[in-house]
Structure formats: structure tokens, C-alpha cells
């Protein structure tokens, strides 16, 4: 019995399960897209690396509110991991991801293999400047944004979406892909979605699964430091003093800081005062073996 059609299910069209079609090759993807485009469907793409959590699913829901068809890509992109990073241990939960997307009634899952994305002889990279060289993530993960920009450019070209949704959780990445879509003259509009958090403030992340119980207990200090720092800067405490306090409280909680910086929210350039806003407060810090990032608006 086909779960995608009405026959034999006896369920109404709203309650019947809708397993998204999983496509792994470009010809089938192009065929599916051509059918939607012929019907003038508005298409959205939500790029992910899988291990889906409520943050990813909020992106899918946002896309569904604005588009006729939603594609979720699931691809753990090897080129954005440095050799010493967690590519091999990155959580992979494909069956659970499909179950979550079935519950949401997503239309299509684009799940290419590494060989499809990077065929033998692959020799083209997209190297972002501007927000991609702001001295934040790029300073600590020099491979990262070239890997991200290359794979996102490919996903946008492959899926031809009218818009693509990215989380503010990865704020510098959101700025990089927004610039990329404009600079490459793509038709896709990039839409940012707010960060989904646990009740205690910790931003949802696939990497939270790496935290030991003790580290998990300490982890909300990251968001607390950002929220307090943002409040102080908005109350016109000098930025340097507010940053110093926020950095100290993150370190007291047991983190080793990579950075905690106030930047202009659009350019990501350093900001001297609140009046230069809108500003964004961004942090990356390590606890045990886990590196977490977060950010808030000021
Ligand atoms: P990832 O699978 O980690 O590459 O993330 C895929 C997309 O989900 C990116 O656009 C992320 O910014 C977004 N995302 C990840 N965590 C969250 C979160 N807690 N809230 C909202 N969006 C998120």
C-alpha cells in the first residue's frame, strides 16, 4: 500500500502520513523540480547535515508557511571539516530524520552521496570574502567557509529554490550565504530563522549530543553571558567592559573561549559603540571535546 496516496489508508488528506520522496541523484532531482516548476510552485530549500532537531524542524515549518514545496537537503559536507574535526563521528540519524520530516509532511529530501557532490576530478571552490573573513569562525576554522560556500552554491544551483532558509544560530554562515546568493546572481532569496533553544537557553545543536552530563549542566552559561552582555551594551556600558565580563563568566563556567565579540550585525566588522548598531554578540567556546557557538542580537 502506498502511504503517499489516499487509496486504502482511510485517512483524511491532512492526517495521512506523507513520506517525503528521498532523491539521491541529479537526474531524478531535475525531473521532480521540472514538474513543480511547470505548475509554478514556489520552492523552498532547507539545507542541513541531518541529525535533525527542533531547530531544523522550525526552519522547515517556516519554509512551509511561505512555499508550495519544501526540499530538505541532508548532506554531511566533508569539505567544511578540517582533518582534526568531527566528520567521522558527526551524528548520522537518517531514519529518524525521515520520520521527523514525514510528521512535518516535507515534500522532498535531497540526499546526494559525496561522489555526486564531489565527482572524481572536482576542482572548483567558492571562496567567500567580506563576512567570510570577519575574523570569527574563519579565524579558528580556516577550511570552513570555503567548504560551506562551495556546497551551498551547489545546493542552490541544483535545487533552484525561490528561497532558502538558514538559522541565525550560525550567524556568520547566514551572512556568508546571503552575500554568496547576491554575488553569484542567484534567483534564491536567503531567509534567516531565529535560534531555537532549550528551556535553559542552550541553543539546540547536533553537537550537544557530545556533551557529558556535567558539561550539559554548564553549557547554558554561554547564552546567559551573551544575554547579560547584550543587555549591558544596550544600556551603553562600554563594549570593552561588557565583553570582558561576559568572557570571564564563560570561562568561569569551564569553557575555553575561541572568541566572544560584538560586531556590526550586517558587516560583522568590529563595533566601537552601541550607536554604531545594529550589533550582534557572537561566541565560540570549547568545553571538554565539544565546541559550541551562539549569538544574540544587541
Ligand atoms: P546543520 O545541520 O547544523 O548544518 O544546520 C542546518 C541549518 O539549521 C543551518 O541553517 C543552521 O543554522 C540551522 N540550525 C541549527 N541549529 C539551529 C537552532 N538551534 N535554531 C535554528 N536553526 C538552527
pLDDT, one tens digit per residue, over 94-112 is: 999 999 999 999 999 999 9
Burial, 292: exposed, middle or buried (Cβ in 10 Å; 0-12, 13-18, 19+)?
A: buried
Residue 200 located in a structural domain: no
Are residues 39 and 176 part of one domain?
yes
- Report angle CA 104, 40, 155 to the nearest 5 degrees: 60
Name 295's bridge partners: 282
Residue 198 located in a structural domain: no
Residue 104 located in a structural domain: yes
Rounded to the nearest angstrom, the distance between the alpha carbon of 209 and the centre of ligand 1 is 14
Are residues 187 and 252 part of one domain?
no
Are residues 181 and 42 part of one domain?
yes
Q: Which of 133, 162, 193 is the last residue of a domain?
A: 193
- Contacts of residue 165, Cβ cutoff 8 Å, sequence gap at least 6: 44, 45, 46, 59, 60, 62, 63, 191, 192, 193
Domain containing 278 equals 211-297
Residue 205 located in a structural domain: no
Of the pLDDT bands very low, low, confident and very high (cuts 50, 70, 90), residue 90 is confident
Rounded to the nearest angstrom, the distance between the alpha carbon of 27 and the centre of ligand 1 is 28
Ligand 1 atom with the shortest distance to the CA of 58: 21
DSSP notation for 90-149: S---HHHHHHHHHHHT--EEE---HHHHS-TT--------GGGGSSSHHHH-TTHHHHHH
Query: Among 227, 228, 222, which Cα is nearest to 202's?
Result: 222
Query: Among 82, 170, 180, which Cα is nearest to 127's?
Result: 180
- The set of cell numbers assigned to 245 is 565580563
Ligand 1 atom with the shortest distance to the CA of 169: 12
Are residues 186 and 57 part of one domain?
yes
Ligand 1 atom with the shortest distance to the CA of 167: 12
Average pLDDT over residues 57-84: 95
d(CA 236, CA 277): 12
Are residues 135 and 279 part of one domain?
no
Residues 202-255: pLDDT tens digits?
A: 999 988 988 999 999 999 999 999 999 999 999 999 999 999 999 999 999 999
Are residues 215 and 187 part of one domain?
no
Which of 18, 41, 53, 56 does the annotation list as catalytic? 56
223 is catalytic: no
Q: Which of 167, 193, 219 is the last residue of a domain?
A: 193
Residue 9 located in a structural domain: no
Number of domains in the chain: 2
Are residues 144 and 267 part of one domain?
no
Of the pLDDT bands very low, low, confident and very high (cuts 50, 70, 90), residue 15 is low
d(CA 256, CA 74): 31
For a pocket test of ligand 1, which of 76, 152, 165, 167 has the largest count of ligand atoms closer than 8 A to its C-beta? 167
Eight-state DSSP code of residue 64 = H
Q: Which of 166, 193, 220 is the last residue of a domain?
A: 193
Are residues 19 and 150 part of one domain?
yes
Residue 201 located in a structural domain: no
**Is residue 5 scored above 70 in pLDDT?**
no
CATH number of 146's domain:
3.40.50.620
Are residues 180 and 260 part of one domain?
no
Eight-state DSSP code of residue 291 = E
Are residues 223 and 143 part of one domain?
no
Are residues 227 and 89 part of one domain?
no
Rounded to the nearest angstrom, the distance between the alpha carbon of 171 and the centre of ligand 1 is 10
Are residues 240 and 109 part of one domain?
no
**Is residue 280 scored above 80 in pLDDT?**
yes
For residue 118, the tally of other CB atoms under 10 A from its CB is 18
Residue 199 located in a structural domain: no
Return contacts of 96-102, CB within 8 angstroms, 24+ apart. Answer: 96/52, 97/50, 97/51, 97/52, 98/19, 98/20, 98/22, 100/52, 100/57, 101/20, 101/52, 101/60, 101/72, 102/17, 102/18, 102/19, 102/20
For the entire predicted model, the pTM comes to 0.93
d(CA 202, CA 215): 12
CATH number of 235's domain:
3.30.1300.10
Residues 151-192: pLDDT tens digits?
A: 999 999 999 999 999 999 999 999 999 999 999 999 999 999
Residue 5 located in a structural domain: no
Amino acid at each position: 500500500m502506498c502511504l503517499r496516496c489516499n487509496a486504502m489508508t482511510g485517512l483524511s488528506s491532512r492526517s495521512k502520513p506523507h513520506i517525503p520522496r528521498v532523491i539521491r541523484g541529479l537526474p531524478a532531482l531535475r525531473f521532480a523540480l521540472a514538474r513543480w516548476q511547470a505548475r509554478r510552485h514556489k520552492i523552498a530549500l532547507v539545507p542541513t547535515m541531518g541529525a535533525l532537531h527542533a531547530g531544523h524542524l522550525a526552519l522547515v515549518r517556516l519554509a512551509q508557511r511561505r512555499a508550495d514545496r519544501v526540499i530538505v537537503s541532508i548532506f554531511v559536507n566533508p569539505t567544511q571539516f578540517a582533518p582534526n574535526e568531527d566528520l567521522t563521528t558527526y551524528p548520522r540519524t537518517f531514519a529518524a530524520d525521515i520520520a521527523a520530516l514525514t510528521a512535518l509532511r516535507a515534500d522532498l529530501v535531497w540526499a546526494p552521496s559525496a561522489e555526486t557532490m564531489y565527482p572524481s576530478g572536482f576542482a572548483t571552490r567558492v571562496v567567500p570574502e567580506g563576512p567570510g573573513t570577519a575574523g570569527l569562525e574563519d579565524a579558528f576554522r580556516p577550511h570552513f567557509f570555503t567548504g560551506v560556500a562551495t556546497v551551498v552554491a551547489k545546493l542552490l544551483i541544483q535545487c533552484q529554490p525561490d528561497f532558502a532558509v538558514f538559522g541565525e544560530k550560525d550567524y556568520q554562515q547566514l551572512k556568508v550565504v546571503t552575500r554568496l546568493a547576491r554575488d553569484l546572481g542567484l534567483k534564491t532569496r536567503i531567509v534567516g530563522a531565529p535560534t531555537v533553544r532549550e528551556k535553559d537557553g542552550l541553543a539546540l545543536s547536533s553537537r550537544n549530543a557530545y556533551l557529558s552530563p556535567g558539561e550539559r549542566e554548564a553549557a547554558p552559561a554561554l547564552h546567559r553571558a551573551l544575554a547579560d552582555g547584550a543587555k549591558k551594551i544596550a544600556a551603553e556600558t562600554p563594549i570593552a567592559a561588557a565583553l570582558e565580563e561576559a568572557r570571564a563568566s564563560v570561562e568561569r563556567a569551564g569553557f575555553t573561549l575561541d572568541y566572544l565579540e560584538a560586531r556590526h550585525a550586517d558587516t560583522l566588522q568590529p563595533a566601537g559603540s552601541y550607536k554604531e548598531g545594529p550589533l550582534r554578540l557572537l561566541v565560540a567556546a570549547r568545553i571538554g571535546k565539544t565546541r559550541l557557538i551562539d549569538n544574540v542580537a544587541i
